[in-house]
Structure 1
Amino acid sequence: MRDALMRPVYHPAGGDDDLRVAMVELQAGRWRAARNLLLATRSRGLRTSRTQVLAVAAAGADVVDVWLAEEPDAYDPQVMRARVFVERALRAHRQQHTGVAEFETRARHAAQMAAQRAPQDPVPWVCLLALAQIDRNQRRPEHRVRSAEPMLPPGPWQLLDEVTRRDPYNREAYHRVLQFLLSHNAPPSAQLASVFDFGRWVASWAPAGTPMLLLPAYAQVEQCRLQRAEGKVHPLWRRQWAEEPMRTYSLDAFHGWFKKADPDMRSLTDLNYLAYALWASHQYLEAADVFTAMEPYATREPWASLEERPPGATGGQELMLRARRESLAYANSHAPPASPRQNPAGHTSRLA
């Protein structure tokens, strides 16, 4: 059994050491490590996630502007400029900044310029999709397109199609749609219904190895957040995870995504959501596998939002450590006995 007293490490780069170095360099005003990292990143999915995390690190300074001035003909600083502008627009929106419209316009223009420069890159389209959540009243026509799924409301479905045409099953794109559904101007119950419908619909056809199998778990967490905001959380809320269909969704995500996806491509946030879902549904052996895979890193969510008395008091760390401790203890006590080792002649060895 692993050390139950392990303390989690919280870092947006998780186990991506190269990304962590590039983030530190950007925060220090140096861009060459980010340039080299993106040049070496061939996977479109990994490129999408890395540019998003780098933008968070760079959004508070002008380091990307300096990079673009030094390499005006390069594409990577141009798309990173779009990423940074989108991050600033979303922050302004969350903070209800009076200049959010100006931030949004600047971000949209930068994303459109990047899309023209590299038509096959999904990242500019992910940027445009991310901006949809700012348009709560869906004034822009591209944010009120009818969905191919009749149960879903009008939304930025064409933008999602543009991303998936370039990178099928792009994780961030589907999560940006979730954020849109939670932000558009509708009653909270209607928002939540849309999120559940979207998660279940995508999980019904998402192929093995793709993180969209986890979308129902994200929807379930959003339900808890909404109920807590309204003071309506049932004391036995956790039991819902052990009931159908959530139990099956969690196991499908474990076997269909966790067990089949490239470990280097697995999102740390997804690992934390899956660990919670499995623990809450009493699938302790599977939860232990996920906790072991993500060590020593962790994310605050979903633990902070699901923490009890009061939510978020410890940033979710106590709940995460409890779930980890219980899962590893169960796995340790239910581990199959070790098979006797064989010597080269085929005889059983007596050595322990």
Structure 2
Amino acid sequence: MAGRGFRPVYHPAGHDHALRHALQDLRTGRWAAMARLLDETSDWSAWTRRTQVLATVAAGTDVVRIWRAEQPESPAAAVMHSRVAVERAVRAHRSGHARAGQLCQEARAACHEAGDRSPADPVPWVGLLALAALDGPRHPAEHRAAPPAPMLPPGPWGLLAESEKRHPHNREAHHRMLQFVYARRSGPLSEAVNYSHWAASTAPVGSALHALPLYVRVERYRRERGHERALDLHWVAEDAVREVRRALDTWFFFCAVDEASLLDLNHLAHALFGALRFADAARVFEALGPYYTTLPWAYRTARPDDRALAEEVFLRARARCLGD
């Protein structure tokens, strides 16, 4: 895929061609391919990832409601209902919609219903973690539980523990927890740094949680609103290089790259490029194939909302590493 004329592709399904087909079916208002895909999904990692991606499309439609009406006893339909409800609540919160509070309550109820229907499923608990990050300073007692280790903040640790019981080291659960830590207070990211290092240190070899500290490093840069040169200096610092090497050596070299998150792969390629480890970055770019995500590349531009600029930065970095 190297060479001039290469254009990257953004697609939420990435290498998951079965998910791509289900998304196409979903966009036409049909739910059968989605139901079939979820029925064939046999591990919690794929289940969590696929339900999340499906919900981002389904949230703008009535397809899941129609599915539930036609198959009211389907546990998968109940889980997708909770996914859609959470996605809508998150979007309403971000936009400051007047019904954001009501949608959050409805989503919480949908998660509890899905959890009752599918007791072994981690996704309803992941949804509750996502909703916890929307509570702001009024966190209920459930969201102010004592942490499991020193240097960690109070938070919805009970919700995380329920997810961990069902699927240890669930990638999305820990990213949702990280979002809670971000939202807990503004200012320095020391709590987020501590959390990401704790999550990575407890994860087994091959876990995507080893890439979590890279997200916090990008978030720190985003908040400081630095420029490209400052970002390059940021990634060659000794602690940054150590985090990049750990993600490469304990996650990337052991994971099934076709099943890996495109965001994780892009964060790793971005970090390796910034750390001047071009040969290692080339391996990640090759694993990405034709796919890319706008983040974190957009933060290397003057206008992070401009997708075209993010694509240009991605292409320059890719060409430098692959020798195009």
TM-score for the superposition, normalised by structure 2 = 0.96
Q: Which amino acid aligns with 1:120?
A: A
Pairing of 1:214-293 with structure 2 (within 5 A): 214-228=211-225, 235-293=229-287
Structure 1 SS opposite 2:254? coil
Q: Which has the larger radius of gyration?
A: 1
Deviations 1:289-337 (A, max 9, x none): 0001101000010011232x344443411111111011011xx8xxxxx
Q: For the structure 1 residues 75 and 315, does the alpha-carbon distance in structure 2 shift closer, same or farther, using more than 3 Å as the test?
A: farther
Instruction: Give the distance between the partners of 1:241 and 1:127, measured in 2 at CA.
Output: 33
Q: Deviations over 1:159-188 (max 9, x none)?
A: 11110110011000010011111122x232
Distance in 2 between the 1:100 and 1:267 partners? 29
* Count, aligned residues: 323
Task: Give the 3-state SS of the residue equivalent to 1:316 in structure 2.
Answer: helix
Query: Are the aligned partners of 1:4 and 1:324 in contact in 2 as well (CA < 8 Å)?
Result: no
What's the TM-score once normalised by structure 1's chain length?
A: 0.88
Aligned twin of 1:23: 23
The residue that corresponds to 1:68 in the other structure is 68
Cα distance change of structure 1 residues 119 and 207 upon mapping to structure 2, 3 Å threshold: same
State the one-letter code of the partner of 2:263.
T
Q: What are the ranges of 5 or more consecutive residues in structure 1 without an aligned counterpart?
A: 333-352
Query: Quick check: 1:188 aligned with 2:182?
Result: no
Counterpart secondary structure, 1:151: coil
8 Å CA contact retained: 1:224, 1:306:
no
Partner of 1:296: 290
Unaligned runs of 5+ in 2: none
Q: How many angstroms apart in 1 are the aligned matches of 2:16 and 2:309?
A: 23
Alignment of 1:157-236 (within 5 A): 157-184=157-184, 186-189=185-188, 192-228=189-225, 235-236=229-230
Contact 2:15 2:259 in 1 (8 A): no
Call closer, same or farther: CA 1:43–1:240 in 2, change over 3 Å: same
Q: Per-residue CA shift, 1:234-273, capped at 9, x if unaligned?
A: 8433222122111121111112111101223211110000
Residues of 2 paired with 1:305 and 1:127: CA distance?
Answer: 28
Q: Which amino acid aligns with 2:160?
A: L
Distance 2:253 2:197 in 1: 20
Rounded Cα–Cα distance in structure 2 between residues aligned with 1:272 and 1:237: 16
| Contact 1:122 1:167 (8 Å CA) reproduced | yes
The alpha-carbon deviation at position 80 of structure 1 amounts to 0.3
Query: 2: CA distance between counterparts of 1:88 and 1:294?
Result: 29
Identity %: 44
Q: What is the SS of the residue equivalent to 2:66? A: helix
Amino acid at match of 1:289: R
CA separation in 1, counterparts of 2:249 and 2:229?
Answer: 30
What whole-Å deviation, never above 9, does each CA across 1:115-143 have from its counterpart, x for those lacking one? 11111110111111110111111432111
> Residue type matched to 1:284 in 2?
F
Give the Cα separation in 1 of the matches to 2:275 and 2:75.
46
Give the SS at the match of 1:236.
Answer: helix
Q: Are 2:174 and 2:199, in contact at CA under 8 Å, matched by a contact in 1?
A: no
Cα separation, 1, equivalents of 2:2 and 2:231: 29
Cα shift readout 1:81-117 (whole Å, capped 9, x = no counterpart) = 0000000000000001111111011100010011111
CA contact (8 A) 1:68 1:78 kept: yes
Q: Pick which of 235-244 and 20-29 moved more.
A: 235-244
Match of 2:46 in 1: 46
Q: Are the counterparts in 1 of residues 227 and 300 from structure 2 also a CA contact under 8 Å?
A: no
Would the aligned equivalents of 2:303 and 2:309 in 1 still touch at CA under 8 Å? no
Taking the aligned partners of 1:312 and 1:296, their CA distance within structure 2 comes to: 22
